[in-house]
Structure 1
Amino acid sequence: MLTHLLRGTTALVCMSLALPAAAQDAPGFLGTLVLTGGKRDLTYGTALSRTVIDEEEIQDRQASTVAQLIDSVPGVTLVNGTTPQGSGINIRGFGANTTYGSDQKIAVLVDGAAVGSEELYRIGTQLFTDPLLYKNAEVLRGTIGSFAYGSGIVGGVVKLESKDASDFTGGVPGFAGAQTFEFSSNGAGKVSSTTLAWQPADRAEFLLNYTLRDQDDLTSGDGRTIGNSAFRTPSGLAKAKFTFGQDDAHELTFNYSQTVADDKDVPYDQFATTGGTFGNVDRLTDTRQAVIDYRFNPVSDLVDMRVNLSFADQVIEYDYVPGSSPLEGTPTFPFLVSTVNADQRYRTTKLTLSNRALFGSDAIGHDLLAGAEFIHRDRKDNDAAGAPGGSDRRFALFLVDEISMGAFTVTPALRYETSTVKSATSYGKFTNDALMGGLALSYDIGNGVSVFGSAAYTEGLPIIDDLGASATALARMDTTEKSHTFEFGAEYTGSDVFGTGDTFTIRGNLYATTMWDITSYTAAGSTSTNLDRVETRGLELEASYGHASGAYVDFAGHVGSGEEFAPGAGGITWRNTAADRVQLTLGKKWEDGLDLSWEVVHSADRRDALGADLDNITLHNLRATWRPDQVWMTGTEVRFGIENAFDADYVGHLSSPTRKAPGRTFKVSLTKTF
């Protein structure tokens, strides 16, 4: 496998490019280039594996969840279906797994607020929010781009940015808005999303959004009902932004979003399709985020200051449904009921202060991002459900300096973090700290070709979930998980490559990660013996070609492997390794009026949640977007899609063997902006 990856990367180096240019809002690794080929703009940093899904693609994909939206990114796996309650996000083999919706190796940020990071048993990412609230979703893969966002990040970072009123008003005072209706045939899915935007003056804007997503149980490719796949999630977003001061140097944004899921008589185990041993519950999930963001950007290269204060709060309330568990009436039933009736609540307050400064000489230029972060996480005690309560207080300092020296760009990054975890009961109080960092280098060869590489080291500090009374738990609280990642790749971008007026961009990236001092995973067949180490490696490839006629081709692929090592034992396949996957999109745009595309996705080397091999699978998805040019239909967009067009019957990679993927689904949506 590694030999093939090296050959692929070597070939790619011979045909790659990058032309970095300043991107004012990116936090480190700031050189970017955006070229439009097809549906996805390929946005690259100097040495950063970064993919951005913009608002148009969010609407075109008609995804039900954020997890379903971003699984088209190389190295990203959607675990356990398409429901917000059960699905999880796995990046490069880390993140959601067969037991928890998170393993702390990826970070999810909603306008800066940290969400979906609790290790709750048999529940997904806790990312209960609707894709239509956001104007872009950004995925940073690996460790090298994570130091401004957290510690212990091995898989990557998912960043969501909500819509602004000015996106609808165009920055001109007045009223504007949009209404979207969507219907999907499989599960009789219905969506209504209403956005109202008001800009009373040039420097003030207000936005309200209400989205209701409702879906019955889905049907798999063999015509059977997929249990526990129905959901109803109303979501809301309120946002206000003010700009003021000399030269509009001050910007203040207030943001509040909330999603509620009120499920009746559903399995306690969200990864399963039936109640099983645990039985069924009535579950109310209420998740909300509030963010205050202040930016001071005067006419000075040395000052671009941001202050982001966020609060994320999630409440999960359970009520056992009598008669739903086969253990009812047995001696173990009282313990089971105490588990499934245990309510959960966790709150995270985060304050991030940062400043970006540009300075240097003609020979050497610095783009320096420096900041501090204060985090306070508090969780209600719920030991009965395997979720101990307590608090986690953290303080971090981070620095990312992009140094330009002619054709070379060198970017050192550092993060120091200290944490104090205190049990809500009698498990004690534990303090740990770590210094971590990385170095990225890129070289612009010229003629559109560049090569890049990076080395990064991070440590994952103990978390509230690690608390316990056993000797194993006490050892976890004094151990930081460590990992290093090495990456090497190349880019090529150019115009008039194969014909006049065309554009072509391609990027390949080879990575290798080793993690040790592991506390998150135990050896196969053991509940107390931790793995000795985990090793993963892979090749990610993205490409986009756009012809002057409007024809386009998009490609995204990932090939990888991984091994896990128990103490004193040889390596076996890493249980969470991403599948080998390629995605090819062929399409044609007729100016801004019509866009037709055919997407083919082939996945190999797949396994279910129990480690059993799955057959290779090829899926076909068709999409069409039409914007009528009649005057009376100005601002109207009609979208039509067919997912799994040939009704393939299959189980998704790393998903429960009883939870099949949805069969053929027709989707249609109508959007009117005004």
Structure 2
Amino acid sequence: MFPADEFTAKMGLAAAAEQCLIYVDCFYHLYYQAQVEINDSTRNTTNYRASPYCKLRFKDQDAKGHVMGKFRLTQHLLGTVSVLGLTLGSGAMAQQLPEELPLEIQGEEFLGTVELGQGKREVQVGTAVPITVINQEEIDDRQAGTIAELIDSVPGVSLVNGSRPEGSGINIRGFGANGTYGTDQKVAIVIDGATTGSEEIYRIGTQLFTDPALYKSVSVIRGTVGSYEWGSGIVGGVVKLDTKDASDFTGGKVGLRLHQLLGYTSNGEGYHSSSIIAWQPMENLEVLLNYTKRDTDSYKDGDGNLVRNTSTEPYSGLAKIRYTFGDANEHGLTFAYQQTYSDEFDSPYDQFNQVNFGNVNRSTESKVATLKYEYNPVGNDLVDLTVQYSYSDIYIESEPTNPGGFADYLLDGDHDYSIDKLTVKNAMYFQTGAISHDLRFGVELISKDRLESQVSPTSGSVSVPGGKDERVALFLIDEIGLGNNWTITPALRWEDQKITGSDTYAGDRYDNSALMGGISARYEFDTGLALFASAAYTENLPILDDLSVASRMTQPEKSQTFELGASYVAGDVFADGDSLQVKANLFATDLWDITSYSGINTVDSQGAELELTYAMDNGLYVDLNAAYGDYEANGSSPWSNAPANSARLTVGKRINEAWDLSWEQVVAENGNNNYGGYGISNLRATYRPQNGMLAGAELRLGIENAFDRAYQPNLATQLAAGRNIKLSVSKTF
């Protein structure tokens, strides 16, 4: 048998890739994974071009559409490995092998299938960027009712409530949503490349007003260093969501598939349904329609008390069309449109349930539309072009249920925020001598419009100033490979801004610009150990919400972040066929010239984050993540938005292809709001029948807060739900 590592050593990595059949579901340290170019901050390895002798088979069908494009090969072991086969000289493939193959390998047979363990979540060990990716399997497994509930499992991420899309938000490393405003502009939400989310709205949270059933993956970038492609002023991080495609269900084959999911939650007597039509009339044309509906009453806490005003009844829809054309399908057009809507009747104006301003009837509607053109010609490493127009809008209509109160002008105020964005970007791979460059650069034109609202009839003060925020942005990220060990990644972003007021502030105009940037360095040893460090600087340019304070309109908030960390991957650590991935990083962030928070001039934070997964080939797996932080405002005062230190441990067992059983323990220390520390247990079971009339179905049972603990997370404004039994069944027909 010809070992894979010796094979690549003799032929060279590129030649090995081009003259073998690679089954891609995972990769191992003696073998190699072909990974489609994703054009985001996780890319860190050398590109090679596909050839007729290299065929890729992906679980992720989104990758399949780009099979003729770039892919890269890495020598890193990933713990979420399931099956990899490397085939040479057998069957039809052997007949296609070129005559110029070296004689010593022309007669080689199947190299074998490596069965490795698989954890719940892959640790992103191949990059200096602190990023966590939640894939479709984990989205399904968690049965989360909101995006906030789903990403709460990421280290460094904390929730402000989260059981419903209204009045909930996320906090990353102490920045993002809080109990007063739905966002502080320091966490970016990106859906299919579209920027969404409103500016600061008093006592209303709309940061993540969408449904998890629309998405196949969610990526969370923590900190600033990986954010320059997505925006400016990002201190907490980026939440990047990618919607489902029809080919995820058709498998890339011509035909029509129907997917139905039905779910139930015991706490709040809730139900939800998600119906998908996936149609692929031709191999290069796919159409997807998704309708998702949720209906849940107010839940009870661990003491059995009803937590009022926590009911929700949103519905969401997604339509998506993708068409590829050209001799090698090098051109692609994708249109996607999604909408989420909910009504609230006689509900508190304050969605965080802290201050009684009175009750309202309120409807909330979120829309996101994208139109994307892609051009990735075969044989040209210098062109991987994307041109995308996106539009997002959040509209909130509100009226008081009992007019005549002191705050009627707040209760009767409508909100409308829209963002138009045109992005043109290109990715290229080239070499300058012994140095390789994986370069991404682009230009963005951004226009944010905001409706003036909530004008006091007595003082004339405006709570929600209206106007337009227009920006031009340039960004560049270059992943520079030096030999087989070093990766140096400088990144730059420049933005020019023009803000013009409307209505009360008509005629006001402010111009600002900023140059931001960072650099990361990563060194990978041959042993699987890697060390990395980064430094990043960003500026949060003034926002429309501050038009009422002229001095703030020329004062951007400034931030710098330094990070230091290490990762390690290995196989056969404690037993044959096991795999281990671990990544740890330290960070220090300074924020100054602050305008987002009253009475706060500086925020200093230091912390540590840990992600680990260990899996055995008998199906046993262990996942661990933890976050620790120390946060100060104005040099000595506790930072009110600081998350509590926390950790999450999952122990599970996969039994053949049918069962996945796991126990998850979540613990958190007492935070600065003194709600107390807590520990809760979550149990999950997934059953996939392998034969009979239910073959192909997926049945899931989850028991969250299994011991019915009464607790309140540090940043939440209400007690969390008590024991909640979740059931769901899904099947593709």
TM-score w.r.t. the length of structure 1 is 0.91
Number of the residue aligned with 2:637: 572
Output one character per residue of 1:359-416: Cα deviation in whole Å (capped at 9) or x when no partner.
Answer: 0145100000010011001011114372111100011000000000011111000000
**Alpha-carbon distance between aligned partners in 2 of 1:279 and 1:224, rounded to the nearest angstrom:** 23
Deviation at 1:233, TM superposition (A): 0.5
Q: Write the deviation string for residues 281-321 of structure 1: whole angstroms up to 9, x where unpaired.
A: 10011111110111100021000001111100121101110
The aligned counterpart of 2:38 is 25
The aligned counterpart of 2:414 is 343
Mark the runs of 5 or more structure 1 residues left unpaired by the alignment.
Answer: 1-18, 524-530
In the alignment, the residues of structure 2 paired with residue 182 and residue 557 of structure 1 have an alpha-carbon distance, to the nearest angstrom, of 30
* Partner in structure 2 of residue 132 of structure 1: 213
Q: Aligned-pair distance for 1:576?
A: 1.0
Match of 1:51 in 2: 132
- What SS does the aligned partner of 2:123 have? strand
- 1:189-228 per-residue CA deviation (whole Å, 9 max, x = no partner) reads 1000000100001100000000001100000011110111
SS in 2 for 1:492: strand
Q: Which residue of 2 aligns with 1:380?
A: 451
Match of 1:618 in 2: 679
Question: CA separation in 2, counterparts of 1:129 and 1:579?
Answer: 26
Q: Write the mapping of 1:168-317 to structure 2, written as runs, cut at 5 A.
A: 168-272=249-353, 277-299=356-378, 300-317=380-397
Q: Secondary structure at the match of 2:410?
A: helix
2:709 equivalent among 648, 653, 656: 648
CA contact (8 A) 1:256 1:291 kept: yes
Aligned runs of 1:63-74 on 2, under 5 Å? Answer: 63-74=144-155
Q: Would you say the 8 A contact 1:107–1:117 is kept in 2? A: no
Provide the secondary structure at the position in 1 that maps to 2:685.
strand
Structure 1 or 2: larger strand share? Answer: 1
User: 2: distance between equivalents of 1:122 and 1:35?
Assistant: 42
Q: Distance in 1 between matches of 2:679 and 2:713?
A: 12
SS at match of 1:56: helix
- Following TM superposition, by how much is the alpha carbon of 1:45 offset from its aligned partner in structure 2, in angstroms? 4.3
- Which deviations, in whole Å up to 9, do the C-alpha atoms of 1:90-149 show, x marking residues without a partner? 000000012111100010011111112321111113422110110011000000000000
Distance in 1 separating the partners of 2:530 and 2:294 = 44
Contact 2:516 2:539 survives alignment (8 Å)? yes
Q: 2:90 is matched with which residue?
A: none
The one-letter amino acid paired with 1:564 is A
Query: Per-residue deviation at 1:28?
Result: 4.0
Pairing 1:671–2:730 present: yes
2:79 aligned with 1:35 = yes
Partner residue of 1:413 out of 468, 491, 499: 491
**Which residue number corresponds to residue 96 of structure 1?**
177
Is the Cα–Cα contact under 8 Å of residues 46 and 442 in structure 1 kept in the other structure? yes
8 Å CA contact retained: 1:177, 1:673: yes
Q: CA deviation at 1:83?
A: 1.3
Number of equivalences: 625
Q: Does 1:475 align with 2:551?
A: yes
CA contact (8 A) 2:79 2:614 kept: no
Where does the alignment leave 5 or more consecutive residues of structure 2 unmatched?
Answer: 1-31, 46-75, 81-117, 456-461
CA distance in 1, matches of 2:496, 2:661: 51
> Cα deviations across residues 48-73 of structure 1 (Å, max 9, x unaligned)?
00000111111111111001110100
Contact 2:666 2:679 in 1 (8 A): yes
For 2:72, the equivalent position in structure 1 comes to none
Q: Tell me how far apart the structure 2 counterparts of residues 593 and 133 of structure 1 sit (CA, whole Å).
A: 25
5 Å-filtered alignment, 1:107-122, equals 107-122=188-203
Matches of 1:44 and 1:379, distance apart in 2: 41
CA distance in 2, matches of 1:105, 1:510: 20
The 5-angstrom pairing of residues 498-509 of structure 1 reads 498-509=574-585
Residue pair 2:562, 2:588 contacting (<8 A) in 1 also: yes
Q: Distance in 2 between matches of 1:646 and 1:447?
A: 43
* Structure 2: distance between partners of 1:564 and 1:21: 46
2:689 to 614, 628, 643: 628
* Contact map agreement 1:637 1:672 (CA 8 A) in 2: yes
Corresponding residue number in structure 1 for 2:434: 363
Higher RCO (CA < 8 A, seq sep 6+):
1
Which of 617, 621, 625 is residue 548 of structure 1 equivalent to?
Answer: 617
Cα distance in structure 1, aligned partners of 2:250 and 2:223: 37
| Local SS of the residue matching 1:132 | helix
State the AA in 2 paired with 1:400.
I
Contact kept in structure 1, 2:334 and 2:371, CA below 8 Å:
yes
Which residue identity is paired with 2:573?
V
Provide the C-alpha distance between the structure 1 equivalents of 2:517 and 2:433, rounded to a whole number of angstroms: 28
What is residue 474 of structure 2 aligned with on the other side?
397
Name the SS of the counterpart of 1:226 in structure 2.
Answer: coil
**Contact 1:44 1:51 (C-alpha < 8 Å) held by counterparts:** no
Return the alpha-carbon distance in structure 2 between the equivalents of residues 386 and 661 of structure 1: 31
SS in 1 for 2:552: helix
Contact 2:285–2:321 (Cα < 8 Å) also in 1: yes
Cα distance, 1:591 vs structure 2: 2.4
CA distance in 1, matches of 2:488, 2:320: 38
Give, as a single letter, the amino acid of the residue that structure 1 aligns with 2:322: K
Offset of 1:177 from its aligned partner? Answer: 2.3
8 Å contact kept, 1:35–1:43: no
Tell me the distance in 2 between the aligned counterparts of 1:538 and 1:450.
Answer: 20
Q: What is the one-letter code of the residue matched to 1:374?
A: L
- The amino acid across from 1:497 in the alignment is V
Answer whether contact 1:67 1:88 (CA < 8 A) is retained: yes
**In the superposition, relative to structure 1, how do residues 52 and 101 fare at CA in structure 2: closer, same or farther (>3 Å)?**
same
What does residue 113 of structure 2 align with? Answer: none
Q: Which amino acid aligns with 2:708?
A: D
Q: Aligned letter for 2:359?
A: N
Q: Which residue of 1 aligns with 2:29?
A: none
> CA offset at residue 650 of structure 1?
1.1
In structure 2, the partner of 1:559 is 628
Answer with 443-452 or 36-45: which moved more: 36-45
Provide the secondary structure at the position in 1 that maps to 2:408: helix
Counterpart residue type for residue 452 of structure 1: F
- Partner Cα separation in structure 2 for residue 85 and residue 162 of structure 1: 21
Displacement of 1:259 after TM fit? 0.6
- Deviation of residue 80 (structure 1)? 2.3
Identical columns (%): 49
- Counterpart selection for 2:245 from 156, 164, 173: 164
Q: Which residue of 2 aligns with 1:6?
A: none
